[in-house]
Structure 1
C-alpha cells in the first residue's frame, strides 16, 4: 500500500517553513517511487469528503501499480491536511513540491484553498489537478502558462444547470440566492447572474452568510418578502444545514436547488428530515445499474475498505469518482510525457486522446483553451435518502 492513512497517529499541527501547517503522517519509501501529492481537508466538517478523495486516488494507484506503475516506478500518494485553511493549504503544497519532490498535486475541497494554491503551482510549474473545488477561476486563472487542470464541476456550468433544473422542475420565475460569503460564493454569484441574464430572469435577491452562522432567518426572510419561489444555495455541509433548519423555524417550504456542498459530509444528520428536500448537483452516483468500470471500482473499494457495506458508505461518490479519473488522467499525462518535468507533463495533458473513465469516456479532455475535463452534460441531480445520495429523475 502506497498511501499514508495513519491520520490519527500524528499531531495535526507542525511547523513548516516557520508556520503552522497540518501534516498527515507518511511512512518511509524507497527513492525510486513516483510521488504525487494531495492537499485536502482531512479533518473538520469536510473530513468525509477528504476521505472519499483519498479512497478514489488510492484505488486508482493500486490499479496503476498492479500494471507496473508509471515510467517504471510505483506511484506513491502523499496526503496533507489543509484543514480547509488557505494558508495551510499553500504551505502544504510548498512542502510537497519542495521537500517531497512530488511530480504533481491534487487539490481538494475548498475553492478558497485551491485559489490560494493556483499561483504557487503555476510559478513552480507543477501540474495541479482539481478533484472537488468548483470555483470557475481555479482553472480559468489567466496565467500565461496554466498548470491547473480539473476533473470536477465548474461553477459557471453548474450555475446554468441549477437554473435549468429550477425552471424545469419548479417553474421558477423569481429565484433567490443564499450564498456562502467567500470566493466560492462569489464565483457562483457571478455565474448565476450570468445564467439569469441569459434567460431574462430577475433574481428576487442575493443574500450572504458566514460559515459559522447558526441562524440565517434574517437573510431568508428578506428573500421570502421579495417573493423568491426557489432558492439557489451554495455552501458546504454545516452552513447548508443551518439554511435548512432556519427555513424549518420560519415554516417556509420553498424548493432548494443546491450546488454540491451538502454532499460533503453529515448533511442529512445535521439538517434533519427536511434535508431530503434539498436537490443538489453531482457528477457520479454508484446507485442503479453501473458500467463495468463502475462495478470494478466499487468492488475494489469494498475489498480495500471492508467498512464499506452499503451505498451510504461510499458517499460522497463524487469525491471517489472525480479523484479516480483524475489520478488516471494525471498518470497518463506523465507516461505520455516520458518525464516528470512540469512543462512536459503540461503539454502531455493536451495529447491525451481517449480514456475510458469512471464518470465517462474522455475524448481529448484537455486543450490549451480548456483545462476542465467535465462538462454540464456530466452533471446529475440527487438527494439524500437514508444517508445515501440517490439520483433524481431530471
Structure 2
C-alpha cells in the first residue's frame, strides 16, 4: 500500500488523540514464525511481509509518534519451541500483541498462553480449523487472517464436483495438520455424496512417494488431493510425474509454496491450489506490495505470497485496532477494537469491511478464495475469467447467526 493511502488513517488518529511525546518507547509486536526447517518458505515470507508493513507505518509517523518494532522469534516448526517463544514474548517481552504461527500443531500448543494472559494473537498462516474454534469468539483472544482448512477443503471438493470428477484419492501427511485436514476433507466429500477411492498417509520429511502413488492410481481414482506442506507437496508432484499418472492434482495453499516447486523440479506445473491472493499487476495494492517486498527480498518466486500478504494485512489491522482503542493497548482493549472496527481497511488480500466481530474471528470467508495454478514457474489464476474479475474485490461474507 502506498504512503499516501496510509496517511488518512494515521493522521486521523493523531488528530483524535494528540501527538505522542517524543522519546516514547516503541510499540513492540511479537512475530513467531518458522525461519528455519521445512516450513521456512512460509516463515521467511511472513517475516518480510511484516517488515514491509512496519517500514511503511514508521515512515509516516508510526503509532502516535511511536515506532512499531517487531520482536522476532524462529519456532523452527517445532511445537515446544513455539510454546517457549510464546511464553517469552507475552510474559517477559510484554509485546502488545503477537502475529504468529505457520504450522497448525505449533499454534495449537501455544494458544493457551495468549488466552490465559489475555494477549491478542493474530494468526496469518496456520490454517487448522481448530485454531479459531478452541475458544468461543466472545471470549477468545485468537484472530486469523488465513483461510481455515474447513473452507479450503470445501473449495477443493466443490471444484472437483464442478469438473464432473467422482473418484478422489487422498494422500495426506501423518502430522496433526494432516489429521485435521483429513477430517475436513472426508466431511466435505461426504456432503458432496462422495467417498475417497483410497486414503494413504505418509510421514513428513519423506523423499519419495512413488509406491504410494501407484497404490492410489490402482484405486481407479480420477483426481488426487495431496494434503501437506510445501516440500512434501513437491514430493507428491514428482512422484505423480514419475509414474505418468495424468489425473489432475489438487492441494491446499501449501502447493503454492516455492519449496513445492523447487523440490518437484517444476513438476508442480499444472497443479491446482487454494489461494487467497495471487500476483496481479492490475491491482494497485497488490503490485505496490510486491514492489516493496522486492526491496527487502530478491527471492523469485516469493517463498509464499499468501504468507507475506496475510501477515502484512495482519500488522495493518492491528494498527487500526490500536487507533480504535484510543490509547489503551491492553489485550482486552485491542480485542474489542478488532471486533468493532470503526473503518474499513483496504489491504493486499482484500478490502476488510469487518474482518472480525464478537462472534467471528476468521477474516476470510469461502467466497474470497481463488483457484490458483503453477504455470511456467509462476503462480497464476487457474481460470482466465478469474484474472479478469479480480479487480472486483471479494469482501467477507457474513453469515447470520440468528
| TM bucket, shorter chain | 0.7 to 0.9
* 1:80 CA displacement: 0.6
Which residue does 1:352 correspond to in 2?
341
* 1:141 CA displacement: 1.1
Indicate the SS of the match to 2:159.
helix
**1:50 pairs with 2:43:** yes
Partners of 1:65 and 1:97 lie apart in 2 by 23
Which residue does 2:20 correspond to in 1?
none
Moved more, 206-215 or 127-136: 206-215
Equivalent in 331, 334, 340 of residue 342 of structure 1: 331
Runs of 5+ in structure 1 lacking a partner?
A: 1-29
Residues 305 and 273 from structure 1, CA distance in 2 versus in 1: closer, same or farther, beyond 3 angstroms?
closer
**1:295 pairs with 2:287:** yes
Indicate the SS of the match to 1:275.
coil
CA-atom RMSD in angstroms:
1.9
Which residue does 2:156 correspond to in 1?
162
Partners of 2:303 and 2:160 lie apart in 1 by 24
Runs of 5+ in structure 2 lacking a partner?
A: 1-22, 387-402
Indicate the SS of the match to 1:176.
strand
Which residue does 2:369 correspond to in 1?
379
* 1:225 CA displacement: 2.7
CA-to-partner distance for each residue in 1:139-184, whole Å, 9 max, x for gaps? Answer: 1113572111011111001111011122224x21011211111221
Residues 119 and 225 from structure 1, CA distance in 2 versus in 1: closer, same or farther, beyond 3 angstroms?
same
Partners of 1:217 and 1:306 lie apart in 2 by 35
Q: Does structure 1 conserve the Cα–Cα contact (< 8 Å) formed by 2:128 and 2:180?
A: yes
* 1:79 CA displacement: 0.9
Which residue does 2:314 correspond to in 1?
326
Indicate the SS of the match to 2:39.
helix
Equivalent in 124, 127, 138 of residue 120 of structure 2: 127
Which residue does 2:272 correspond to in 1?
279
Indicate the SS of the match to 1:325.
helix
**1:80 pairs with 2:73:** yes
Which residue does 1:255 correspond to in 2?
248
Partners of 1:65 and 1:243 lie apart in 2 by 43
Indicate the SS of the match to 1:70.
coil
TM normalised by structure 2 equals 0.84
Which residue does 1:153 correspond to in 2?
147
Indicate the SS of the match to 1:251.
coil
CA-to-partner distance for each residue in 1:70-93, whole Å, 9 max, x for gaps? Answer: 254211011111111010011011
Q: Does structure 2 conserve the Cα–Cα contact (< 8 Å) formed by 1:231 and 1:257?
A: yes
CA-to-partner distance for each residue in 1:322-356, whole Å, 9 max, x for gaps? Answer: 01111111121122123121111111111114211
Q: Does structure 2 conserve the Cα–Cα contact (< 8 Å) formed by 1:47 and 1:265?
A: no
